[in-house]
Structure 1
Amino acid sequence: MKENASLKISNERAYSHMATLCAKREYCTSDIRKKLSRYCLNDDDVEKIINRLKAEKYIDEVRYCRSFINDKLRFNKWGRKKIEFALRQKLIPSDLISNAFLDFSDDMLNESLESLLENKVRSIQYGSAREKRSKLIRFAIGRGFSMDETLRCINKILSEK
């Protein structure tokens, strides 16, 4: 069922709908605020609904950060920088982002990089060793990995061949 862009519903119904969504998966405040904007509610009502969702633990930014980081590491194979950028786009405070990353070791944050680069080196076309190296660096940086970790992995992969 597709919702209209400007649907007018009661505060209680909007709360109920958001609570149902939050019970199914993690959402951050900005995601819920965006969803509530479709319901033609005034700003005070939106804040009341969000505060109630937070008070009842449907929204928890710390829990959301940990879940988001875990999912992006496991399924999307993103690096730390890309994950941080995505969380900042969702208006998550920097201190919450930093604290959430403390739960993940550097090994966990970089474990997918080597296999990503090994797969990439097989699929790229290059004329010289320098071109191959620069394409691998751009790929890893685009995925959000640090330059230091990227170079360490590339050197390891290229020295094995």
Structure 2
Amino acid sequence: MKTITESEALSRVAFYCSSAEHCRYEVEEKLRKWSLDEQAIGRILQKLESERYVDDDRYCRAFVADKINFAKWGKMKISRALSLKKIDDEIIQKYLLQIDEDEYKAMLRHLIAEKKRTIKGGNEYQIQGKLIRFALSRGFHLKDIYQCVGKQDDEFFE
């Protein structure tokens, strides 16, 4: 692999950041793959952040909106994905709290209704179990799932 200079790396990564939203961690990983030394990586990241090519706050806002609106992920899955990208928990919580609860629950109800149409056989108890597992895999909280499958918490724990 050809060695890349610091200025070439800056140019390439600036183009990478201008074509789509990326967090600091993603950019840092890309720079590490290019075998740049830590000081060069630090200088490049500082330059990118000062020129707002990289902004974890902006990235988090876009990520949450995309995962809610397009991927139909729940808050737990979104939070975990952002944590894996080394986004600060305060930033994550800030944008998760901005999610409209009524729209969020409506999305979950719609997902559950769509999934219910595809589930084959079994009694109502088995169907509800499959729906709950499906919604959990999408990253929704159990209390929200219970509300949307028509059960109250106390019915599940009797």
Q: TM-score, normalised by structure 2?
A: 0.90
Name stretches of at least 5 consecutive residues in structure 1 with no aligned partner: 1-5, 157-161
Which residue in 2 is equivalent to 1:79? 74
Asked if residue 57 in structure 1 is aligned to residue 52 in structure 2, the reply is yes
Aligned residues with identical type, % of pairs:
34
Structure 1 segment 17-36 matched on structure 2, within 5 A = 17-36=12-31
Residue number among 4, 12, 16 corresponding to 1:9 in the alignment: 4
> How far 1:99 sits from its partner (Å)?
1.3
2:95 to 96, 100, 119: 100
**Equivalent position to 1:89, from 84, 87, 90:** 84
Query: In 1, are the aligned partners of 2:75 and 2:139 still within 8 Å (CA)?
Result: yes
1:80 maps to amino acid: K
Q: CA deviation at 1:146?
A: 1.0
- RMSD, aligned α-carbons: 1.4
| Alignment gaps of 5+ in structure 2 | 152-158
Task: Answer whether contact 1:28 1:59 (CA < 8 A) is retained.
Answer: yes
Encode CA deviations 1:92-131: one digit per residue, 9 max, x unaligned: 1111111122332222433321111111111112311110
Distance 1:91 1:133, change over 3 A: same
Q: Cα gap change, 1:17/1:108 in structure 2, threshold over 3 Å: closer, same or farther? A: farther
After TM superposition, where is structure 1 displaced by more than 4 Å over at least 4 residues in a row? none
Q: Equivalent of 1:149, from 138, 144, 148?
A: 144
CA distance in 2, matches of 1:111, 1:17: 42
Normalising by structure 1, what TM-score?
Answer: 0.89
Matching of residue 109 in structure 1 with residue 104 in structure 2: yes
Which residue number corresponds to residue 3 of structure 1?
none
Amino acid at match of 1:39: W
Query: Is 1:135 equivalent to 2:114 in the alignment?
Result: no
